Chains A and B, each alone.
Chain A
Amino acid sequence: MTESPSERADAAGPPPRVRVTAPRPGGAGASARPLPPNARGAPTSDIAGVYVRSLIRSQLRLAIVFAAGFAAATTLFVLAIALVPSLDSSFVFGVPVSWLLLGAGVYPLALTVAGLYVRAAARNEARYRSLTEAE
C-alpha cells in the first residue's frame, strides 16, 4: 500500500484549519478525484462512445436482473413459508419456525445477491477496460 500525500502531511503535524462548505460540482471536491483517461469531456471518438454505451447497457441489464432475482427469490421464500402450515405449529424456543424464517431468512439472501452483483459489475468494468486499453 502506498502512503498518500495527506497522510504524510498529517505525520508532520496537523494541517492548518480551513473553513469547509459543501463543494459545488466542478469545484475543488469534484475535480479532486482522478478522472478516467477518456472521461474528460465528450468521448473522443465514435468507437469510444459505442464502448461507453455498451458498458452502461450491460451494467443496467445486470442491475435489473439482480433486482428481479432478489424480488423473485423473496416472493418464493415467503410463499413457501405461507404454504407450509406446519411451520406455524412447530416451535423453536417458543417461537413458530415460520416467524423465525421470515425474521432472519431474507438478510442472507440480500447479502448473497449483493456479493454476486459486486463481482459481476467489476467483471463488466474489467471487460470495458480491456477493450479500451487494447486500442
Chain B
Amino acid sequence: MNPVIGYTAIAAVALASALIGFYGLRVSRTTSDFYVASRTVRPWWNASAIGGEYLSAASFLGIAGLILLQGAGGLWFPIGYTAGYLMLLLFVAAPLRRSGAYTIPDFTEARLESTWARRVTSTLVIVIGWFYIVPQLQGAALTVRITTGLPSWVGSVAVAVLVAVIVAAGGMRSITFVQAFQFWLKLTALAVPVVALLLILGGGEPPAQLAPAEAFPPAAGPGDLDVYRTVSLMVALLLGTLGLPHVLVRFYTNPDGVAARRTTVIVLALLSVFYLFPTVFGLLGRAFAPDLATAGEADALILLLPGRLVPGIWGELLTALVIAGAFGAFLSTSSGLVVSLAGVISQDLLGGSVRGFRIAAVVSSLVPLVVALSTESTGLAGSVGLVFAFTASTLCPMLILGIWWRGLTARGAIAGMLTGALLSGGAILGGPLLSAAAPALGPFLEQPAAWTVPLAVIVTVLVAKGDQRGIPRGTDAFLTRLHVPERQVH
C-alpha cells in the first residue's frame, strides 16, 4: 500500500479533530449546549451524536474482520450492538432521562442515598471506560502499521496523546454537533466504498474469487450455531449497552422522557443502516480476500479491500476515505470516553476543579495506553464484547433494579456489583489459565455473561431483601419522579 495515502488521511483527520476540538468550543454555545439549548436538541441530532460516539473501532473494523474470520458467528455482534438500544429503550431510556442524573454515579447516589454505592459505581465506570479505550488504541496501532508501515506503537501513542491534549485543553466536550457529524462521516466512509465496490464488481471483470460454496461453507453458516456462546454473547451485548458511561450523558440532553424514547428509536434505525456496510465488507472479504483470515490481520480487511479490488487512483482515494473514517472512529469514541471518565474522576477524587479535570483526562488516556502497548490484540470486536460482558454483570443489574424495584438498597447494590465484577472480571482475566487446566470450562469463561449476570442479580436481590430497613427514605418520591410523565406542553 502507498504509505503517502495513509499519512495524508491520518494527518487530515487528526488535524480536523484538533481544529474542531479547539475552535468548535468557541463557535458552539457552550453553556447552553449543556443546560438550556441541550434540552431543545432535536432527537435526530441527539441520535446522530449517540451513534457518533458509540461506533468505535470494534464496529468500524472489528465486525468485518470477525465475519471474515469466523463466518456467520460474526453477524451476531452487530445484531447485539444494535439490539442493546432496544433494551435501553425498554428498561432505561425514559426513566433515566427523568431522573435528572448526569452520570451513572450521580444516578446511584440519588437513588440509593449512599456515598459508598456512588464510589463503587464510579470505580466500575472508570475500569469499564479504560478497558473500552484499549481496543480503540489497538485499532489505531493496526491502522498505522498496515497503512504507513510505521511500527504499531506509533498509532496507539498518537491517538492517546491527541485525545489527552484535545480533552485536557477543553476541546471536544460533549458537543452534540461534532459527535453528530462523526456519525455521518463514519457512515459515508463505509457506504461510499461499499457502493463503489459493488458497482465495480457488478459491472466489470470480476477479480479472482473463491467459489461461493467455498467462501460461505455451511459449517461457518448461521445453521451451525454454538448455542451457549451465542446466547451468552447476546446477554452481554444486549445488557452491556445500558451501562456504557458515554451513552448516558447523551440522554440528559433530551427535553423529556418521551423525547428520550424517540431518540433511542432513531439510534436503533441509524445503527441498523450503519451495520449493513461492515457486514457487506465482511461478506466481500470472504469471497475476495480469504488470505487475510488470520487472527490479528482480519481486522485490517476494511482498510485493504478497496485498494485490492479497485486499481489506480480511485482505489487509493477509497482507501484514504476508509482510513479517515477509521481514525475518526478511534478519536471520537476515545475522546467521548475520556471526557466522561475525566468528569467522574475529577468529581469524585479531585474536587471537581478544572485542573483536576485536566489531570484526570491525561490519566484516563495514559492508563489505557499502557495496557494497549503491553497486550496483543486478538480481535477488536471480541475484546469490546468482553467489556460489554463486564458492564452487563456490574452496572446493568443495579440500574434496572434501581429503576424498577423499590426494595433495592445500597448494600444490595454494592454486593451485586462486587459479585458481578469479581466473577466476570475473574473469568475474563483468569480464563486463559483456567481453561488450559479444564478445557470443558472454556466457553463458560470466554463468554461469562450468561451465568455472571443472573448471579449478580440474585446476590443483589437477596442482600437487599435481608436489608429492608436500609431502603432509602426518598425511594417512593424518586421512583415517582422516574416514571410519572412530564406535564405535556402543547
Which A residues form the contact surface with B (CB < 8 A)?
4-7, 10, 14-15, 17-26, 28-39, 41-43, 49, 52, 55-56, 59-60, 63, 66-67, 70, 74, 78, 81-83, 85, 88-89, 91, 94-96, 98-99, 101-104, 106-108, 110-111, 113-115, 117-118, 121-122, 125, 128-129
The 12 sampled A-B contact pairs (Cβ below 8 Å) are A22-B347, A28-B35, A36-B484, A52-B484, A67-B91, A81-B222, A88-B218, A95-B283, A99-B222, A114-B89, A117-B89, A118-B261
Given A34-B486, A99-B216: A114 and B265 interface contact (C-beta under 8 Å): yes
A129 touches B37 (CB 8 A): no
A104 touches B258 (CB 8 A): no
Once the chains are docked, how many angstroms separate the CA of A67 from the CA of B239?
A: 11
Residue of B90, B109, B476 most packed against chain A (CB within 10 A): B90
Residue of B79, B256, B476 most packed against chain A (CB within 10 A): B79
B391 within 8 A of A: no
Once the chains are docked, how many angstroms separate the CA of A52 from the CA of B404?
A: 12
B75 within 8 A of A: yes
Given contacts A38-B484, A43-B477, 14 further A-B contacts (CB under 8 A): A7-B40, A21-B354, A29-B35, A39-B480, A70-B86, A78-B225, A82-B222, A82-B223, A89-B213, A89-B218, A94-B212, A95-B287, A111-B265, A121-B261
Once the chains are docked, how many angstroms separate the CA of A6 from the CA of B31?
A: 11
Q: Which of B189-197, B272-280, B418-426, B444-452 is near enough to bind chain A?
A: B272-280
B272 touches A88 (CB 8 A): no
Distance from B386 Cβ to chain A, minimum over Cβ atoms (Å) = 22
Chain B residues 279-317 with CB under 8 Å of chain A are: 279, 283, 287
Distance from B84 Cβ to chain A, minimum over Cβ atoms (Å) = 10
A91 touches B212 (CB 8 A): yes
B72 within 8 A of A: yes
Q: How many A-B pairs with Cβ below 8 Å?
A: 198
Of A35, A70, A82, the residue contacting B481 (CB under 8 A) is: A35
Ranked nearest first, the 4 interchain pairs of A and B with the lowest CB-CB distance are A30-B100, A107-B272, A6-B36, A125-B485
B29 touches A10 (CB 8 A): yes
Once the chains are docked, how many angstroms separate the CA of A88 from the CA of B223?
A: 8
Distance from B159 Cβ to chain A, minimum over Cβ atoms (Å) = 25
A70 touches B283 (CB 8 A): no
Once the chains are docked, how many angstroms separate the CA of A83 from the CA of B483?
A: 43
Instruction: For chain B, give the interface size range.
Output: 35 or more
Interface of B is mostly: helix
Provide the residues of chain B in CB contact with A83, threshold 8 Å: 223
Residue of A94, A121, A129 most packed against chain B (CB within 10 A): A94
Of A70, A89, A96, A115, the residue contacting B265 (CB under 8 A) is: A115
B484 touches A118 (CB 8 A): no
B455 within 8 A of A: no
Distance from A91 Cβ to chain B, minimum over Cβ atoms (Å) = 5
Once the chains are docked, how many angstroms separate the CA of A26 from the CA of B40?
A: 21
Given A18-B31, A107-B275, A118-B265: A88 and B91 interface contact (C-beta under 8 Å): no
Given A88-B218, A94-B287, A103-B75: A29 and B100 interface contact (C-beta under 8 Å): yes
Distance from B141 Cβ to chain A, minimum over Cβ atoms (Å) = 28
Distance from B134 Cβ to chain A, minimum over Cβ atoms (Å) = 24
Provide the residues of chain B in CB contact with A18, threshold 8 Å: 30-31
Chain B residues 1-35 with CB under 8 Å of chain A are: 29-32, 34-35
Distance from B474 Cβ to chain A, minimum over Cβ atoms (Å) = 8
Once the chains are docked, how many angstroms separate the CA of A22 from the CA of B352?
A: 9
Provide the residues of chain A in CB contact with B477, threshold 8 Å: 39, 41-43
Provide the residues of chain A in CB contact with B479, threshold 8 Å: 52, 56
Nearest CB in chain A to that of B222: its residue: A102
Distance from A56 Cβ to chain B, minimum over Cβ atoms (Å) = 5
B106 within 8 A of A: yes
Distance from A33 Cβ to chain B, minimum over Cβ atoms (Å) = 6
Residue of A41, A52, A99 most packed against chain B (CB within 10 A): A99
Distance from A70 Cβ to chain B, minimum over Cβ atoms (Å) = 6
Given A20-B35, A107-B272: A114 and B86 interface contact (C-beta under 8 Å): yes
Given A39-B481, A103-B279, A103-B283: A117 and B90 interface contact (C-beta under 8 Å): yes
Distance from A35 Cβ to chain B, minimum over Cβ atoms (Å) = 7
A78 touches B222 (CB 8 A): yes
Of B40, B75, B347, the residue contacting A99 (CB under 8 A) is: B75
Provide the residues of chain B in CB contact with A36, threshold 8 Å: 481, 484-487
B106 touches A25 (CB 8 A): yes
Given A6-B32, A22-B343, A34-B487: A49 and B102 interface contact (C-beta under 8 Å): no
B162 within 8 A of A: no
Once the chains are docked, how many angstroms separate the CA of A91 from the CA of B262?
A: 37
Distance from B487 Cβ to chain A, minimum over Cβ atoms (Å) = 6
Chain B residues 390-418 with CB under 8 Å of chain A are: 404
Once the chains are docked, how many angstroms separate the CA of A49 from the CA of B475?
A: 12
B484 touches A106 (CB 8 A): no
B136 within 8 A of A: no
